[in-house]
Amino acid sequence: QVQLVESGGGLVQAGGSLRLSCAASGRTLSNYGMGWFRQAPGKEREFVAIISWRGSDTDYTDSVNGRFIISKDNAQNTVTLQMNNLKPEDTAVYYCAAGIRYWRGRYNSNMIAYADWGQGTQVTVSS
């Protein structure tokens, strides 16, 4: 069992940047991926970015590719999402996930069948 706490959300103007952090504690398990997902009002939760345990492999949803960067620090048990050139359509609650069965290649939803989730942090991008 792992506990995840997101931070770094807030209000930012379009074109600005935010950095989200996720701190993991408890029974962290090596060799599983971590990632970020988001849910906008009236929409389903969607995949944003994922990273393998060693950080050597990543994947992004097309809408954020080139603007967002996911990274992690195993020594600190943290995963970070650097969000640049934010757009109003990025407005959502962002959730951190751990225990993702991802090692390489493209993400698919089967990988989060047994994932653990944080409580989320709100990101609001004004136009």
How far is residue 20 from each of residues 2, 16, 110, measured CA to CA in Å? 18, 13, 25
Residue bearing tokens 């698919």 = 108
pLDDT, mean of residues 59-81:
95
State pLDDT tens for residues 83-117. 999 999 999 999 999 999 999 999 999 999 999 99
pLDDT (0 to 100) of residue 46: 98
Q: Distance of CA 42 to CAs 14, 36, 38, 39, 112, Å?
A: 21, 19, 12, 8, 22
Query: Given this model, what pLDDT does residue 36 score?
Result: 98
Nearest to 50 by CA among 117, 11, 89, 106: 106
